[in-house]
Amino acid sequence: MSKTVLAIDIGSTKICAIIAEVSDDGSIAITGAGTSKAQGLKKGSITNIELASKSIKVALSDAKRVSGSDVKTAIVSISGAYTKSLNSNGIVNIQNKEISFKEIERVMQTSLYNANIPNEYDVLHALPFNFKVDDQDYIEDPLGMNASRLEVETHIITTQKSNLSNFKKAVRGAGVEVENIVLNGYASSIATLNTDEKELGVAVIDMGGNTSNIIIHSGNSIRYNDFLGVGSNHVTSDLSMALHTPLNIADSVKLSYGSLLTPSNELIELPIIGDETTTHEVSLEVVHNVVYARVEETLMILAQFIENSGLKDQLGAGIVLTGGFSKMEGIRDLAIATFGSVPVRLARPIEMSGLFDSLRSAEYSSAVGLIMYSSTSFTPYEIDVNKRVRHSNETPVAQSNINFKEEPEIPVAPSEDEKIDKMVILPSKKEKKSDEAGTLVKFWNWATQLF
């Protein structure tokens, strides 16, 4: 039985809603999509809940009209703007000498317990990147292995509780409830990476309108993530100031003439800001220099992020650029020069059934990644924002809900039904013993009184 999935990618400049049908075997068919200009957002965070809700509602209405379905829950992307990351570890003993899913869940929860997470932050993703069985390192999947001890190292991504709350309010204001929240850089990597790249190690940089998010994968799991509040709109602002022309004209110049290749000496005529009836001539060489300077600076900062991560030597597959900013002509060559001759490729979302032509562009990588995240697990194990443990073999959905939501609660706070089930025999034995003991006491009292 297929399920209907709604994904809402909330970006700084646009909001994209996609509706898809996901079948039991995990295959995806997109049935509807809608986009709108983002309002009430700045650098990936909500600044006006009412305006953000209206923007989400416009995109959602278009998607529902095309799809013909009415979805009440959504999986939503969130910017890395207010996220913090840390690594933690956990160790558990294996009593039965065989590792079950319960032990894997227990060791992951232990790593969360051991992490020093501030009170004002909530866990967005907890992704294990190294399982250790006894003394053996880097186990891909410890399930079913014989061992006396299980260890895990986990990369934990957290975000401010207030940020999560504001996103949920904005989406709820558009008429849908939030089912799950995913880091947008993580979603972009799901839609653009293949298995070999994840295994060899790769950095994914989602370059958007006002933000750039970087994710580093190594050994099939996220090892590092960071955020830069710079995007293609900053190029527009630079052009507006340098050419002394209105922002909308500067944006048109960027789209029409913005290139990182060899500059031209041609002249173009532009209106002057504040007095749009007056025009002046500007050389395309000036346009090139302004664009080049901003893009080079952005790539240099991102290169420093990779250097600071300590994982630069593990990027066997190089760097993947996606997002609308990555469509600028000549950006791949400049990236290769900036990142130190590391392989660089430009990525678009992978093909799937029903993918509209408009969604095949790089700026929709995050939105398509959200749909893929909801249909299957991207890593072998993960704790999501709902504190639910996802794993790559979770089928069917109904069964997985039972395993993930009820099992963790058993050792912590058993329900009344569980208490009754566990004690249904024991109390009767205790009562029988107490009855026998009471009879002996009465007989002894009677005997002592008699004699």
Is the model's pTM score more than 0.95? no
Topology, domain 205-346: Nucleotidyltransferase; domain 5 (3.30.420)
Predicted confidence at residue 336, as pLDDT, reads: 93
What pLDDT shows up at residue 253? 93
pLDDT at 394: 58
Of 3.40.50.180, 3.30.1490.110, 3.40.250.10, 3.40.228.10, the CATH number of 84-158 is 3.30.1490.110
- pLDDT per residue over 275-289, tens digit each? 878 888 999 999 999
Inter-axis angle of helices 247-257 and 284-309, to 10 degrees?
A: 80
Domain ranges of the chain: 84-158, 205-346
Task: Please report, for residues 225, 371, 449, the alpha-carbon distance to residue 309 in angstroms, rounded to integers and kept in the order given.
Answer: 9, 29, 86
The segments of the chain whose pLDDT lies below 50 read 395-437, 441, 448-451
What are the pLDDT digits (tens) for 141-172? Answer: 899 999 999 999 999 999 999 989 999 999 99
